[in-house]
């Protein structure tokens, strides 16, 4: 603490404490990022002083990022009114909404995203499947990582499970379900890929076996008939082999307001004729 005379603000004596390290966000709020260790008493004092400053500045949301190493500050932060927002293995993000008006704090991520990959080889007669524990041959599937493109995840999963290199063609369909993982929802994208290498080398320990399968053999497994999604995927693949189905292909774009790079998935319909209008 400074030993200079405490200044008067609004006529009230005001002590100078260490203010927490923060940066402004783009929405009228601040993000506090704790970097050096701090004991709880110093933290609470600095937090209260910081709040006084933020209120005067008309700040809205206060984000508090506490790395695992600052776990001692979680309880005091909650007691000062913070609520959990989201967490990752190495940090917990808490948030406090200052204004009287309704909070515009964005919701946490709500969906897990997965891909399933159908790989049709150059004869367009075969696709490959992999054997999971239950004796069922299934297409390679996996979770899309944070920051990973959907098409890249499909290519990666096929490589990991079978050693085959592929090229992304289309998203054939996708499926949304709920409560797949605690309260979170799930989006499952069925991707069509073209192989650029053909020798299967099973790599993933969770897979019992991997092989090229005749499309008909894969479709004739009992599970395919018992399960809506399997049945629909096979039906779509049949139509695709007859060139009578259009999925969504990818196109790099820049986005709405922030000019970020992204991918748009849309029906490019190269082989569909435009009717005259």
Q: Which CB, 63 or 128, lies closer to its own copies? A: 63
Rounded CA-CA distance 13/5 in Å is 10
Collapsed DSSP state (helix, strand, coil) of residue 174: strand
Q: Comparing C-alpha atoms, which of 176, 203, 204, 206 is closest to residue 189? A: 176
Residue from 38, 46, 131, 143 touching its own copies (CB under 8 A): that is 143
Quote the least distance from Cβ 44 to its own copies, whole Å.
Answer: 14
Q: Which CB, 8 or 256, lies closer to its own copies? A: 256
Quote the least distance from Cβ 20 to its own copies, whole Å.
Answer: 19
* Interaction pattern, residues 73-102, with its own copies; x per rule: CB under 8 A: -xx--xx---xxxxxxxxxxx---------
Question: SS3 sequence, 95-138?
Answer: EEECCCCCCCCCCCCCEEEEEEEEEECCCCCEEEEEECCCCCEE
Quote the least distance from Cβ 122 to its own copies, whole Å.
Answer: 18
Q: What are residue 23's phi and psi, to 5 degrees? A: -125, 155
Neighbours of 258 (CB within 10 A): 7
Residue from 24, 39, 125, 145 touching its own copies (CB under 8 A): that is 145
Query: Using CB under 8 A, which residues numbered 163 to 182 contact its own copies?
Result: 172-182
Query: Using CB under 8 A, which residues numbered 101 to 120 contact its own copies?
Result: 106-113
In 3-state terms the chain splits into helix, strand, coil percentages (rounded to 5) of: 25, 35, 40
Residue from 2, 4, 123, 254 touching its own copies (CB under 8 A): that is 254
Query: Using CB under 8 A, which residues numbered 41 to 70 contact its own copies?
Result: 68
């Amino acid at each position: 603490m400074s030993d200079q005379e405490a200044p008067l603000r609004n006529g009230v004596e005001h002590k100078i404490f260490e203010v927490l390290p923060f940066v402004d966000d783009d929405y009228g709020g601040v993000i506090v990022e704790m970097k050096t260790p701090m004991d709880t008493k110093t933290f609470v004092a600095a937090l209260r002083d910081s709040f006084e400053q933020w209120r005067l500045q008309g700040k809205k949301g206060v984000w508090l990022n506490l790395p695992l190493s600052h776990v001692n500050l979680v309880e005091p932060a909650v007691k000062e009114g913070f609520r959990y927002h989201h967490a990752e293995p190495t940090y917990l993000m808490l948030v406090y909404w200052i204004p009287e008006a309704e909070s515009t704090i964005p919701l946490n991520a709500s969906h897990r995203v997965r891909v399933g990959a159908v790989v049709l080889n150059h004869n367009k007669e075969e696709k490959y499947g992999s054997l999971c524990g239950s004796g069922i041959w299934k297409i390679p599937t996996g979770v899309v990582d944070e920051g990973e493109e959907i098409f890249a995840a499909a290519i990666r999963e096929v490589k990991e499970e079978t050693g085959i290199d592929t090229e992304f063609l289309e998203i054939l369909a996708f499926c949304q379900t709920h409560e797949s993982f605690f309260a979170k929802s799930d989006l499952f994208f069925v991707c069509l890929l073209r192989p650029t290498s053909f020798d299967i080398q099973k790599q993933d320990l969770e897979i019992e076996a991997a092989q090229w399968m005749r499309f008909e053999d894969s479709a004739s497994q009992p599970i395919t008939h018992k399960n809506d999604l399997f049945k629909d995927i096979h039906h779509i693949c049949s139509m695709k082999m007859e060139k009578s189905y259009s999925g969504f292909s990818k196109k790099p774009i820049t986005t709405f307001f922030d000019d970020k790079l992204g991918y748009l998935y849309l029906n490019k319909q190269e082989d569909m004729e435009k009717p005259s209008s």
